[in-house]
Structure 1
Amino acid sequence: MVASAAWSAGDKTGNASDEDLLLKVGAKIRQLRKQRGLSLQALSSGSGVSIGVVSEIERGIGNPSFNTLTQLAHALDISVRRLFDIPEQHSPVVRKADRRALDARDGIEGDARLEILTPSLQGALEAVWVTAPPGYDTSATPFSHPGEGFGVVLSGRHEVWLDGTCHVLEAGDSISYQCMTPHWYRNPGPQPVEALWIVTPPTF
């Protein structure tokens, strides 16, 4: 599943078109890859993203999902925010209307909405509000990166897979794990899932 995406405020207004954003993100990935002396094949192997998709993204003609960008960022040993221009908030309070979100601007069916709850992205942890529709599934792009993760499901029924083992979370259930363990998420439905996720150090 691929979707154009942009960091935006709660009012869903952006400063660049999807096309401009994809060109900037692709150029940033190419720049970071070359700085690290990685070939396209090496980045593909390290991220689990096919070499053809990596090449398309770098040229700004791909249409990557957030999960794909996360895999590439982790393979480049950076946080996902390095690929975007994300403004810092100076107040310690984040109002609901001011949450910064990775917004699937085209409303791609099946994409989760991720909203950053921490005012700064430079701290030791990040808190993320996740809204995952029925059918949301990241099994095609398992995550594996340094750090620790904690999640609590607020509503719905969510599957958290850790190294192939499924943990089913109902509303009120929580889970903690080492993020180096390959992990992915799935909402089997029929209701949307709302959850709070905390990761340290920040991965977004």
Structure 2
Amino acid sequence: MISDAEQVLFFVCLSHCISWIEFDTVSIFRTTSTPVTAMSVDIGNRLRHVRLMHNLSQRELAKRAGVTNSTISLIESNASNPSVGALKRILDGIPIGLAEFFSFEPERPRKAFYAAEELVEIGKGPISYRQIGDNLFGRSLQILKECYQPGADTGKVLLVHEGEEGGIVLSGRLEVTVDDERRILGPGDAYYFESRRPHRFRCVGPVPCEVISACTPPTF
């Protein structure tokens, strides 16, 4: 028979052990520099899918996690293998735990047609990005219908990410900067460049600007 005192002592010790295990686990996640490549086949697509599920842009997630926008872009394009600690820091910005991140397996989309009202809004404020499909897991292409309100700007800090992108202006006037080159595009004009080249978009003129764009892989 175990006495009442022994039972109390047992539960106190058990409580301390659980606390130590939780602390030690968090410490490991925070300090380890082991890449997570072996832990998952496709970290990039999984991170992109989770980010879009929470309606976050790469820039917003980078800001929350305290990393650069290019860091998120490189991971999502599988051009960089983050350590467990780095991945946990990024996931904390969503927020989602490591266990949940690795446990779910999104289904690959099979839908072929989308009504106008089914396009998914992933933009914010004066810039609208309406994406074809809410699940790009396993996909190689991202297609957007963009709308910039007069004066809308992607920001003074130029965008840089992996992949290639192109677009055609449908209406309005769009100022596009790529490296040191700047052009004002009107209806029917187009752009196409490697996304790793610093770039920026700005609506000029008194009316909104609409663009159909594509990016491969989906790293925007």
Shorter-chain TM-score tier: 0.5 to 0.7
**1:117 partner amino acid:** I
Change (3 A) 1:67 1:186: farther
Q: Secondary structure at the match of 2:152?
A: coil
| TM-score between the two structures when normalised by the length of structure 2 | 0.54
Structure with bigger helix share is 2
2:177 to 131, 147, 161: 161
CA distance in 2, matches of 1:197, 1:138: 15
Do 2:69 and 2:160's aligned partners in 1 also have CA atoms closer than 8 Å? Answer: no
Tell me the equivalent position of 2:17.
Answer: none
Matches within 5 A, 1:102-117: 102-104=122-124, 108=125, 111-117=126-132
CA distance in 2, matches of 1:87, 1:145: 26
How far apart are 1:100 and its partner, in Å? 1.1
CA distance in 2, matches of 1:34, 1:194: 46
Structure 2 unmatched runs, 5+: 1-28, 35-55, 63-67, 78-90, 97-105
CA distance in 1, matches of 2:76, 2:153: 21
Tell me the equivalent position of 2:145.
Answer: 129
**1:129 partner amino acid:** K
**2:60 partner amino acid:** L
How far apart are 1:91 and its partner, in Å? 1.3
Do 2:159 and 2:200's aligned partners in 1 also have CA atoms closer than 8 Å? Answer: yes
How far apart are 1:88 and its partner, in Å? 7.0
CA distance in 1, matches of 2:198, 2:139: 24
Count of aligned residue pairs for this structure pair: 140
1:88-129 Cα distance to aligned partner (Å, 9 max, x none): 75411121111111153xxx4xx2010112464131111111
Identity within the alignment, %: 25
Structure 1 unmatched runs, 5+: 1-31, 38-64
CA distance in 1, matches of 2:32, 2:188: 44
* CA RMSD after TM alignment: 3.3
Q: Which moved more, 1:115-124 or 1:149-158?
A: 115-124
CA distance in 1, matches of 2:115, 2:33: 38
Tell me the equivalent position of 1:41.
Answer: none
Q: Secondary structure at the match of 1:203?
A: coil
Do 2:173 and 2:186's aligned partners in 1 also have CA atoms closer than 8 Å? Answer: yes
| TM-score between the two structures when normalised by the length of structure 1 | 0.58
1:75 to 71, 76, 101: 71
2:189 to 173, 182, 187: 173
Structure number, greater radius of gyration: 2
Q: Secondary structure at the match of 1:187?
A: strand
Tell me the equivalent position of 1:192.
Answer: 208
